[in-house]
């Protein structure tokens, strides 16, 4: 049976802010079609506002329009399709923004975060079962944002888009585990594979970057250096585990970090999504060190480096999508670390908001005033 749901709809991108004045995002009543065999319906408990959503709005990473926005969320299962046998109505779930089919080459290699079936579907804002399950008040098709579209009271998603989690954890704030935590902590623990005693610089201290700091600490790094162009974020980095912090535009930054680390860091993790941050990361790593990047720069921008230094200094550059996570393995692990007090994700939540505050909330995110705001439908 179809479901009526209030949802945040975006119909055009590239509109400049402030969004509170221009009302780029509209709250509309949409209709969700019944789930197909391998799909389910989730009642949303909370959805995090992320810079990846903002990049759709400002068209630095444009997507087909119109669609229901939101990719980082959590909720309770309301209905399951007939082919879904391992998830039950009432289960608490966290979304992952890169669903996995379990059958393509990437999935079979143990890399579900780069599932090719999901990538093909999300290129047209569809689900892996084909098409969209969202209609507006006039019956027009609305796309799914990364197969999730959780800025809504309800969402229809693929089975591969959810991970069942401990029902005792606060579900609204558990939304962060679906994007910020996986991407940041995973970049440190899975992609970089930081070892006890390593030195690490994290460039970009937004929600993902602060999770990178926490991930480096939990992995055993001896020195964790937080770097951001916004000086306001440095204290938060120290609060969640950084041992040192520097402003990115300090003209003596490279010298200071090299002096601190006796020649450069073992790992520089770029989580700002900016070419300048990538240059900083490449210059900060020592001989034999590695750059890990999970930031997404605006489409079409290139990063260059001197080829000879890559070889002569035996550096490496590693891409990290969704923190190289296997979500069904890593999300429960990361939640367990939080429950042990070793991953204080709760410190990143600034406030909970309603639908009526959605445009103003993205203005605050765009101005760098907040780390994470949670939409509670």
Look up the CATH number of the domain holding residue 295.
Answer: 3.40.50.720
CA 228 to the chain's CA centroid: 18
Instruction: Look at residue 326 and tell me if it is in a domain.
Output: no
Q: Are 99 and 202 contained in the same domain?
A: no
Q: Are 238 and 245 in contact (CB under 8 A)?
A: yes
Residue 327 covered by a domain: no
> Could you tell me if 32 and 48 lie in one domain?
yes
Q: Which CATH number belongs to the domain containing residue 113 in this structure?
A: 3.90.180.10
Q: Are residues 52 and 126 in the same domain?
A: yes
Burial class (CB in 10 A: 0-12, 13-18, 19+), 341: exposed
- Determine, yes or no, domain membership for 137: yes
Which pLDDT score, from 0 to 100, does residue 299 have?
Answer: 83
Residue 337: inside a domain: no
- Kindly state whether residues 105 and 217 are assigned to the same domain: no
Does residue 325 sit within a domain? no
Q: Does residue 203 sit in the same domain as residue 133?
A: no
Pair (189, 173) in one structural domain? no
Instruction: Specify the pTM.
Output: 0.96
The length of the chain, given as a count of residues: 377
Structure tokens at 331: 């999300």
Q: Same domain, yes or no, for 170 and 254?
A: no
Q: Judge if 91 and 231 occupy the same domain.
A: no
Nearest of 115, 148, 185 to residue 332 by alpha carbon: 185
Rounded-to-integer distance, Cα 120 and Cα 126, Å: 9
The answer on 192 and 174 residing in a single domain is: no
DSSP symbol at 152: B
N-to-C CA span, the chain? 21
Q: Is residue 32 part of a domain?
A: yes
pLDDT at 15: 87
**Residues 52 and 152 both lie in one domain:** yes
Q: Tell me what pLDDT residue 300 has.
A: 87
Mean pLDDT by groups of 10 residues along the chain of 377 residues? 96 92 96 98 98 93 95 98 97 96 92 94 95 98 98 97 96 97 98 98 97 98 97 96 97 97 98 96 97 92 92 96 96 97 97 98 96 97
CB 45 within 8 A of CB 24: no
Assess contact for 334 and 311: CB atoms under 8 A: no
Q: Residue 283's pLDDT is what?
A: 97
Position 336 in a domain: no
Distance of alpha carbon 200 from alpha carbon 17, whole angstroms = 35
Assess whether 139 and 20 both reside in one domain.
Answer: yes
> Taking phi first (over 0 means left), then psi (-120 to 50 degrees means alpha), and beta for anything else, what does residue 47 get?
beta
DSSP, collapsed to helix, strand or coil, labels residue 112 as helix
Same domain, 149 and 262: no
Residue 67 Cα to chain centre, angstroms: 19
Residue-level pLDDT at 324: 97
CA distances from 50 to 67, 313, 321 (A): 16, 36, 15
* Residue 364 belongs to a domain: yes
What residue numbers bound the domain in which 306 lies?
Answer: 184-320
How many domains, in total, are found in the chain?
Answer: 2
């Amino acid at each position: 049976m179809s479901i009526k749901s209030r949802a945040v709809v975006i119909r055009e991108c590239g509109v400049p802010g402030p969004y509170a004045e221009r009302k780029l995002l509209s709250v509309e009543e949409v209709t969700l079609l019944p789930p197909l065999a391998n799909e389910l319906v989730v009642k949303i408990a909370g959805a995090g506002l992320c810079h990846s959503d903002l990049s759709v709005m400002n068209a630095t990473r444009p997507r087909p329009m119109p669609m229901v926005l939101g990719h980082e969320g959590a909720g309770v299962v309301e209905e399951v399709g007939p082919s879904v046998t391992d998830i039950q109505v009432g289960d608490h779930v966290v979304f992952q923004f890169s669903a996995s089919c379990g059958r393509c080459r990437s999935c079979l290699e143990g890399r579900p975060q780069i599932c090719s079936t999901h990538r093909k579907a999300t290129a047209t804002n569809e689900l892996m079962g084909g098409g969209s399950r969202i209609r507006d008040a006039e019956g027009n098709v609305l796309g799914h944002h990364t197969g999730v579209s959780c800025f809504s009271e309800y969402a229809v998603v693929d089975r591969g888009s959810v991970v069942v989690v401990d029902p005792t954890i606060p579900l609204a704030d558990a939304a962060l585990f679906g994007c910020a935590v996986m991407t940041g902590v995973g970049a440190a623990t899975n992609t970089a594979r930081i070892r006890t005693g390593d030195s690490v610089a994290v460039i970009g201290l937004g929600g993902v970057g602060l999770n990178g700091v926490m991930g480096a600490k939990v992995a055993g790094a001896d020195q964790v250096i937080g770097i951001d162009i916004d000086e306001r974020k440095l204290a938060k980095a120290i609060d969640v585990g950084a041992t040192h912090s520097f402003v990115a535009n300090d003209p003596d930054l490279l010298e200071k970090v090299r002096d601190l680390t006796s020649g450069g860091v073992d790992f520089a993790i770029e989580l700002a999504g900016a070419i300048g941050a990538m240059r900083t990361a490449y210059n900060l790593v020592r001989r034999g060190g590695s750059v890990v990047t999970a930031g997404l720069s605006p489409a079409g921008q290139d990063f260059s480096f001197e080829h000879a230094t890559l070889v002569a200094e035996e550096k490496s550059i590693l891409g990290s999508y969704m923190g190289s996570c296997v979500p069904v393995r890593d999300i429960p692990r990361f939640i367990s670390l939080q429950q042990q007090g070793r991953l204080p994700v709760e410190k990143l939540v600034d406030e909970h908001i309603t639908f009526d505050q959605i445009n103003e909330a993205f203005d605050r995110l765009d101005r760098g005033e907040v780390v994470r705001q949670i939409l509670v439908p």
